[in-house]
Amino acid sequence: LGKSAKSRIRRLGFQRERALVQSLWKLGFACVRGPASGSKTRRVIYPDIVAMKEGTILVIEVKTSDRRKPIYIERRQVERLKEFARRAGGIPLIGVSFADGTGWKFVRVEDLVKTRGGNYKVDDEVLAKSLSLRDLARIADKSHKLDEYLSS
Amino acid sequence: LGKSAKSRIRRLGFQRERALVQSLWKLGFACVRGPASGSKTRRVIYPDIVAMKEGTILVIEVKTSDRRKPIYIERRQVERLKEFARRAGGIPLIGVSFADGTGWKFVRVEDLVKTRGGNYKVDDEVLAKSLSLRDLARIADKSHKLDEYLSS
């Protein structure tokens, strides 16, 4: 890919991420977006999006899929995502944005398939087990109700 | 203040914020920093720092104090901070960085004093009730233990 095609893809990804934050906000989440990849603050572990609702924390790393081939994710990136979620007490997720504009799917880190090289991939089988935006809201509402139940 | 003095102060504030994130990280928190003030993403409500530890969420707006006069905070900024924390299920705090380099204090939003104009201020009396970095870690550890207690 040429430089301008790459920057166009990056811009598109950025716009989709912003749209996701707006959707999550409408579902009642408070969201924070990490700085763009490659920026200096990236030295610290930093997920793409953190979405919080009444104490439930979703830690999201964003990837784009063209639906033709699996998404490969470096082991180190998955480990960082898990470490951030472990500290926060949150749920680590891979947010998959489809290049054809058909919305988002969210893959639980434990559902990722390990490759022979020790990295991870998201294929059709993994996507079949993924969560929708509505599922994320339900998870947050459920843990909230659980808290209320436990403290009453 | 001239333009270069202002940009020097901004840079200093930025460095202190980064140091705070590193301290919070050492205390076991996962942290996310918001984009710099004035950037486009500021259209959405966006606190300076969100620090999370095992489900406890601290939502922090950062201010600098020269210890000579109170810090004034616009009502709208406090309302946005509270709204973000309400959605997240977190604790809204004003993080006060002292210009003389003597560290940080954290003011609970409910301890802020309302001015006659409807805005808020942090004066010496408010600072006397503020929390230290260690206090923040204790709050996070305590709520974690409480959760364990409730679910056992």
Rounded mean pLDDT of B48-62?
Answer: 95
pLDDT band, very low/low/confident/very high, at A70 (cuts 50, 70, 90) = very high
Contact by Cβ (8 Å): B133, B105: no
pLDDT band, very low/low/confident/very high, at A2 (cuts 50, 70, 90) = confident
Contact by Cβ (8 Å): A62, A48: yes
CA angle A107, A109, A114 (to 5 degrees): 105
Report the distance separating Cα B9 and Cα B2, nearest Å: 11
pTM score above 0.80: yes
3-state secondary structure A48-112: CEEEEECCEEEEEEEEEECCCCCEEECHHHHHHHHHHHHHHCCEEEEEEEECCCCCEEEEEHHHC
Q: Do B89 and A54 touch (CB under 8 A)?
A: yes
Q: Do B30 and A55 touch (CB under 8 A)?
A: no
State the helix-helix crossing angle for A3-26 and A133-151, rounded to 10 degrees: 40
Q: Give A106's strand partners.
A: A95, A131
User: DSSP letter string over A21-56?
Assistant: HHHHHHTT-EEEEPPPTTSGGGGS---SEEEEETTE
Structure tokens at A12: 């598109």
The one catalytic residue in B4, B7, B23, B37 is B37
Q: Pairing relation of β-strands A120-122 and A56-65?
A: unpaired
Chain A residue closest to B47 (CA)? A32
pLDDT of the residue at A42? 46
Structure tokens at B19: 């140091």
Burial A8-27 (b: 16+ CB within 10 A, else e): eeeeebeebbeebbebbeeb
Q: Quickly count: other Cβ atoms within 10 Å of residue A73's Cβ.
A: 20
Q: Pairing relation of β-strands B30-33 and B49-53?
A: antiparallel
Contacts of B87 in chain A (CB under 8 A): 28-30, 52-54
Q: Quickly count: other Cβ atoms within 10 Å of residue B133's Cβ.
A: 18
Interface pTM, i.e. ipTM:
0.86
Q: Give B114's strand partners.
A: B120
Which residue among B34, B46, B151 sits closest to A150, beta carbon to beta carbon? B151
Smallest CA–CA distance, residue A116 to chain B, in Å, is 31
Whether A152 has a pLDDT exceeding 50, the answer reads no
The one catalytic residue in A37, A97, A130, A132 is A37
Answer with the residue of higher pLDDT: A1 or A71.
A71
> Tens digits of per-residue pLDDT, A82-104?
999 999 999 999 999 998 888 89
Report the distance separating Cα B83 and Cα B47, nearest Å: 10
> Tens digits of per-residue pLDDT, B104-118?
999 999 999 999 999
CA distances from A17 to A3, A31, A95, B47, B140 (A): 21, 11, 9, 18, 30
Is A37 marked active-site?
yes
Q: Which residues have a Cβ under 8 Å from the Cβ of A20 and sit 6 or more positions away?
A: A49, A62, A95, A97, A104
Whether A130 has a pLDDT exceeding 90, the answer reads yes
Q: Which own/partner contact pairs does B82-87 have at CB distance under 8 Å and 24+ positions apart?
A: B82/B109, B83/B45, B84/A30, B84/B45, B84/B46, B84/B47, B84/B59, B85/A30, B85/B57, B85/B59, B85/B109, B87/A28, B87/A29, B87/A30, B87/A52, B87/A53, B87/A54
CA angle B109, A32, B54 (to 5 degrees): 70
